Structure 1
Amino acid sequence: MSIDSEDLRNCPARITLDAAQLAFFDGLPAEAPSVQTELGCELELGHEGSHAALGQQVEATMWWIQWTLSASEINPYTWCPAKSTPHVEDRNDRDCTLFDGHPGQHVDGHLARRSDAA
C-alpha cells in the first residue's frame, strides 16, 4: 500500500463526534445527508491553531467542528470569499471550500487541490 502525495497536503487529524454533537447537527433545520460520526481535518498539513471539519451547511451558514487535543466546539461560519463570485447561488470548483478566516492556503472544490492564498 502506498501513500499518495496528494493526501500528504491535508492535515491527518481526525475527530469522532460525541452524542451531543451529533444531536446538534441532527437538530439543524436543513435537509442534508446524515453527518458522519468521524471527520477529518480539512486544513492544510502543518496549519496553525485548531483542526476543522465541515459538519453541515444551513443556507449561507456552515457549521464547522473545531478541535484540539483537549477540547472541541461547533462554530458557525460563512464561506471563504477567495475566488468567489458575488451574487452567485451555487459554489463552483474554483471557490475555496473552507470557512472565512481559515488558516493556511485556500482549497478549491476541484479535487481539493490547493490554490495560492489570496
Structure 2
Amino acid sequence: MSIDAEELTTCPARITLDAAQLAFFDGLPTAAPSLQSELGCELEQGHEGSHAALGQQVDATMWWLQWTLSASEINPYTWCPARQTPTAQSRADTDCALFDGHPGRHSSAKTYWQADEAA
C-alpha cells in the first residue's frame, strides 16, 4: 500500500525509544497510562528542525522526545497557548496539542491551522 503525500498531514518519522529513555519515562512521578516504545512525529509534514513526539505529561509539564537522524533527547515543555476558539476552557480539539514554540502550523486532534487564525 502506498501513502498519498497529499493525504498525509503529519510527519511520517518514527523513533524507537532506547532503554534509558524508557527508564526516564518510567521514573517520572506520574506513570504513563500506556507508554509506547515507538513514537511518531506529531509535527506537520515538512516541518523544519528536529522531529517531536509527546512522551508523557506530568502536571503542567509535557516531556517531549525530540530527534534527528543522529541524536535524540527528552525535553520539558508547556502546552502551546494557541487556540482556534478563544473561549475554549480546556485542552480540547480546538487547542493546539503541541508544545510552546513548536515549528510549523498549530495542530489540534483534527486539523492544522495558521497562527494568525488562532487569535
Shared topology, TM-score over 0.5?
yes
Q: Is the 8 A contact 2:55 2:65 kept in 1?
A: yes
CA contact (8 A) 2:25 2:32 kept: no
RMSD: 2.1
1:52 and 2:52 are equivalent in the alignment:
yes
- In the alignment, structure 1 segments of 5+ residues that lack a partner are none
Q: Which residue of 2 aligns with 1:68?
A: 68
Provide runs of 4+ in structure 1 moved above 4 Å. 4-7
1:3: how far off? 3.3
* Conservation of the 8 A alpha-carbon contact between 1:13 and 1:51: yes
Q: Are 1:40 and 2:40 an aligned pair?
A: yes
Which residue is 1:19 aligned to? Answer: 19
**What letter matches 1:114 in structure 2?**
Y
The amino acid that maps onto 1:26 is: D
5+ residue gaps, structure 2, are none
Deviations along 1:51-110, one digit per CA (max 9) or x if unpaired, are: 000000001000000000000000000000001769x4x31110000000000000012x
- The one-letter amino acid of 2:40's match is G
TM-score by length of 1: 0.87
Query: Which of 106, 113, 116 is the aligned partner of 1:115?
Result: 113
Alpha-carbon distance between aligned partners in 1 of 2:69 and 2:7, rounded to the nearest angstrom: 22
The residue that corresponds to 1:3 in the other structure is: 3
- The TM-score with structure 2 as length reference comes to 0.86
- Work out whether residues 26 and 34 of structure 1, in 8 Å CA contact, stay in contact via their aligned partners in 2: no
